[in-house]
Structure 1
Amino acid sequence: MSLSDQLDRINKKTFKVGIIGLGYVGLPLMWTFHKKGMPVIGYDIDQDKVDNINSGKPYIKHLGKEMMEKLANSDICEATSNFERLDEADALLMCVPTPLNHHREPDMTYVEETTKTVSEQLRKDQLVILESTTYPGTTEDLIIPILEKGSGLKAGEDFYVAYSPEREDPGNPDFNTSKIPKVVGGHGNDALMLACALYDTAIVQTVPVSDTKTAEAVKLTENIFRSVNIAMVNELKVIYAAMGIDVHEVLDAAGTKPFGFMKFTPGPGLGGHCIPIDPFYLTWKAREVNQPTRFIELAGEINTNMPKYVIQRTLEALNTKKKALNGSKVLLIGLAYKPNVDDDRESPTYKLMELYEEMGAEVSYYDPYIPVIKPTREHAEYAGKESEEWSEERIKSYDAVVIATNHNETNYRELAKWSDCIIDTRNAMKEASQNGKQVFKA
């Protein structure tokens, strides 16, 4: 089939989109294409996710019930765990995890295994797009060789390959998948043209770049930018606290400057799938070309150490109550890595749990978005742990309450009444503290 025929099928919306991985990236992407009338088939090894999509049961809270019901009742959308059906899709968009291993190096296991599976079912004229965050060169040096070896086909001649990094911001009401411009790099001009045409059907804007490694570098650059700036304000928080200056007041005032300043806010550490991980993908790749990444690594060191600073502030707070951390009961407010979502990937709250327990504390958590901790790759030991009940009696039973994530649903005025030892890492108590009660900022 010629490229013009493929483009014509996209325009006529008979071009079927296949999405591999139906999590925080893949599920919104499925919905985005479906809304524009494109036929979609989703693939996932997790049968529960597949069943939930096909029955309309929500499993990502902020995406809502209405979306799931519409997907379930659609005659142009379905989900399956049968990967032998990969050849039914005209495009295969891979949205699988790219974590770090124990040495803080890229773990490409999910990408490699998924690509091998795709190669076994790959047919002529299919378009394969990697959306997972990765290091520059992944598509050309890893993906294409696996696809060609497993299928016996030739990239650029028999099938198309592109890279387009996900840019999801879970829970952001202003920018959903359809409203975020899509950076696209292709393995050749035909692949670039086909991938851009596909995304143009559902995304507000496509941003073509010269090749796949450039697109891969764009994603890393975006999140390294955030990591470095968050590290800066985290360091300023510690410095200003030692001087008796409120860093949040400083940032609020600095943020009134209409040019030359971009406000970032400090916290207890980095969370989410991208920002804590992406810098390490570049530093790993940079070693191959003998280039140092001192600035990026320093930012990573600062952000990684923030949970230890929270522990230190907790020790100081408990000391004012003539209590030790060892043997104290600590409640962590917020397990999700950011406000108002149920996404706990790489959440710094998990690191805080570990550190408090190492110091001999008894640790619980409260999060209205995560009533029970699901099994995760990094924190399997916490699977099944349940969120604490929100009540005066329960809150008063804790020696210290630590605000790790500032969900809007949390009643901070009640918290101010019920707890006399609050450690606030998010400036959540700014408006809620009463009667001059001291809140320890961390």
Structure 2
Amino acid sequence: MTVDMVVLGLGYVGLPLAREAVLAGLTVRGFDPKGALVEGLNGGHSHVDDLSDSDVAEMVAAGFSSTDDISSLRGARSAVICVPTPLSSSGGPDLSAVLAATRSVATILEPGMLVVLESTTYPGTTEGPVREELEKTGLVAGQDFHLAFSPERIDPGNAQFGMKNTPKVVGGIDSDSTDRAADLYSQFVDTVVKAKGTREAETAKLLENTYRHVNIALVNEMAKFCHELGIDLWDVIDLAKTKPFGFQAFYPGPGVGGHCIPIDPNYLSHRVKEELGYPFRFVELAQEVNLAMPSYVAQRAQDLLNDAKLAINGASVLLLGVTYKPNIADQRESPAIPLATSLARKGAHVQFHDPHVETWKPGSEHLTRVDDLDAALAGADLVILVQHHREYDVDSFVRASRMFLDTRGVAGPASNAHRL
């Protein structure tokens, strides 16, 4: 049986990609070096928020299977790399997973094959290190095989936009590679947009997330001085967004989380500094502002307790919602982690509740979710809404609490909640 597509990396990007292709009738195989993950998927079990066990079971019934043996996938027509691209210990790009996946592809690379990188990275990665690894086989990109970049646009928990109805950008090292990638994705994505090349496609992804990063930093900075000036920033934003043109609303919060916003812009700023020798100042300033927000929230918590004649040392603080975005279980880079750490360093006794998380490790020890939320709300000296899940009735939580700090601006205006 000819395999239409191999997906390398079966996480929050690769698995939904594989599912959409399977539903469109393509023969798809998954590769992941984690044997336990592969075994779970082949047994019909999902490990990502956006797909249920029944979704994966449906994929398996339609012919999808996963393996940790790349050699079993020889003869595939295309390979799509969807692996993580974190930051290194020095704060620069860490392409170790991308290069490892590329070397895996190289072992099954054949003439006529299409290779696509989806992992977010700095401009020049596809034509640089990825191409170099693949060409160590003796095959030449653009001559013997096709090579392209297509940025992932997965938004976990988004019920409106998914893989099929989110436009897919593709950019190849040449026009034939672009066309091959476009032909592949057009089989299961409604709209495919061709880029001028791989660098443009790589940079488009970084621009999308840098745009959000900078604008979130703007309102986070405004939140600080609006609080000092006695201005309700949430009302200010509501007023500004009545303008039907030239304004898009962004909202302050306890910090930024997930893989995209805290990490991706650094790939661009690192590349600018490395190649051009000067800083990408907007990104570096946005990073400084957004990284400081958890500490700012901890300081606000201390100030509120002081105003109530309570010391934060020994105070009971309940955090509501510890994931990086609402209605999912993903905790990657969640601002709740540095917030809990800051509160603990100040001597607070930190507890948490999250309907999607049973145990949580913000520091050296695991915390268990509070069993009785009503009792925890009533017993805490301060309750902080860190993430607003759909299961939360925030106004009722405010009424049940002694003191409530709302970092998401969702409590009703008539409530006694303190806003960020």
Q: TM-score, normalised on structure 2? A: 0.95
| Correspondence for 1:46 among 30, 34, 38 | 34
Residue identity over aligned pairs, in percent, reads 41
SS of residue paired to 1:179: coil
Cα distance in 1 for residues equivalent to 2:321 and 2:76: 40
Q: CA offset at residue 17 of structure 1?
A: 1.1
Mapped partners of 2:124, 2:233: distance in 1: 40
Task: Choose which of 326, 330, 333 in structure 2 pairs with 1:346.
Answer: 333
Per-residue deviation at 1:189? 1.5
Per-residue deviation, 1:36: 0.8
1:440 alignment partner in structure 2 = 418
What count of residue pairs does the alignment treat as equivalent? 419
Q: 2 CA distance for matches of 1:121 and 1:52?
A: 24
For the 8 Å contact 1:366–1:390, the answer to whether it is kept is: no
Could you tell me how far 1:380 is from its partner in structure 2? 7.8
1:285-364 residue pairs with structure 2 within 5 A? 285-287=271-273, 288-364=275-351
Runs of 4+ deviating beyond 4 Å: none
Alignment partner of 1:171 is 2:157: yes
SS at match of 2:359: coil
Aligned to 1:409: 391
Q: In the alignment, is residue 429 of structure 1 matched against residue 417 of structure 2? A: no
Give the Cα–Cα distance (whole angstroms) in 2 for the partners of residues 111 and 56 of structure 1: 26
Q: Which of 34, 37, 42 does residue 22 from structure 2 map onto? A: 34
Q: Which residue of 1 aligns with 2:58?
A: 70
For residues 96-149 of structure 1, the C-alpha deviation after alignment (integer angstroms, 9 at most, x for no partner) is 111112222111111112212222232222211110110000111110101111
Distance change >3 Å, CA 166–CA 49, structure 1 → 2: same
Q: Secondary structure at the match of 1:317?
A: helix
Please point out which of 336, 351, 356 is paired with 1:369: 356
Q: TM-score, normalised by structure 1?
A: 0.90
Tell me the amino acid that sits aligned with residue 309 of structure 2: K
Contact 2:380 2:402 in 1 (8 A): no
Matched, 1:260 2:221: no
Conservation of the 8 A alpha-carbon contact between 1:313 and 1:440? no
- Structure-2 separation of matches of 1:170 and 1:358: 32
Indicate the residue corresponding to 2:255 in structure 1: 269
Give yes or no for contact 2:319–2:351 (8 Å, CA) kept in 1. yes
1:91 equivalent in structure 2? 78
Q: Distance in 2 between matches of 1:355 and 1:83?
A: 44
Counterpart Cα distance in 2 of 1:391 and 1:304: 29
Distance change in 2, residues 1:381/1:73 (3 Å):
farther
Q: Which residue in the other structure is 2:111 paired with?
A: 124
Alignment-mate amino acid for residue 376 of structure 2: R
Displacement of 1:72: 2.6
User: Given that residues 416 and 432 in structure 1 are in contact (C-alpha distance below 8 angstroms), is that contact kept between their aligned partners in structure 2?
Assistant: no
Offset at 1:47? 2.6
Closer, same or farther in 2 for the Cα pair 1:421/1:81, shift >3 Å?
Answer: same
Which amino acid in structure 1 is aligned with residue 169 of structure 2? Answer: V
**Residues 206 and 268 in structure 2, CA contact (< 8 A), matched pair in contact too:** yes
**Where does residue 380 of structure 2 map in the other structure?**
398
Give the whole-Å Cα distance in 1 for the aligned partners of 2:329 and 2:413: 25
**Structure 2 counterpart of 1:280:** 266
5+ residue gaps, structure 2: none
CA distance in 2 between partners of 1:387 and 1:300 (Å): 30
Equivalent residue for 2:201?
A: 215
Q: Deviations over 1:245-301 (max 9, x none)?
A: 111111111111111111111111111111111111111100121243112211111
Q: How far does residue 224 in structure 1 lie from its aligned partner after superposition?
A: 0.5
Whether the 8 Å CA contact 1:105–1:284 is kept in 2: the answer is yes
Cα deviation, residue 24, structure 1: 0.8
Aligned CA distance change for structure 1 residues 225 and 137 (closer, same or farther; 3 Å): same
Give the 3-state SS of the residue equivalent to 2:130 in structure 1.
helix
SS at match of 1:56: coil
Alignment partner of 2:107: what SS? helix
Output the CA distance in 2 between the equivalents of 1:399 and 1:239.
26
How far apart in 2 are the matches of 1:421 and 1:266?
20
Deviation of 1:411 after TM superposition, in Å, equals 2.6
Q: Residues 2-30 of structure 1: CA distance to partner in whole angstroms, max 9, x if unpaired?
A: xxxxxxxxxxx965111111111111111
Q: In the TM superposition, what whole-angstrom CA distance separates every residue of 1:215-256 from its partner, at most 9, and x where no partner exists? A: 100000011011111111111111111111111111111111
* Pairs within 5 Å for 1:241-260: 241-260=227-246
Amino acid at match of 2:130: I
Q: Which amino acid aligns with 2:225?
A: I
CA change 1:381–1:179 in 2 (3 A) is farther
CA distance in structure 1 between the partners assigned to 2:30 and 2:15 by the alignment:
8
Distance verdict in 2 for CA 1:46–1:385, change over 3 Å: farther
Q: Deviations over 1:152-198 (max 9, x none)?
A: 22111221111000011111111011111111110112111110000
Amino acid in structure 2 at the alignment position of 1:109 = S
Equivalent of 1:180, from 166, 170, 175?
Answer: 166
Distance 1:381 1:93 in 2: 37
Q: For 1:391 and 1:152, locate their aligned partners in 2 and report how far apart those are by CA, in whole Å.
A: 62
Return the alpha-carbon distance in structure 2 between the equivalents of residues 48 and 329 of structure 1. 39
Cα distance in 2 for residues equivalent to 1:168 and 1:19: 15
Aligned match of 2:134:
147
**Residues in 2 aligned to 1:388 and 1:123: alpha-carbon distance in whole angstroms:** 54
Verify the 8 A CA contact 1:271 1:338 in the aligned structure 2: yes
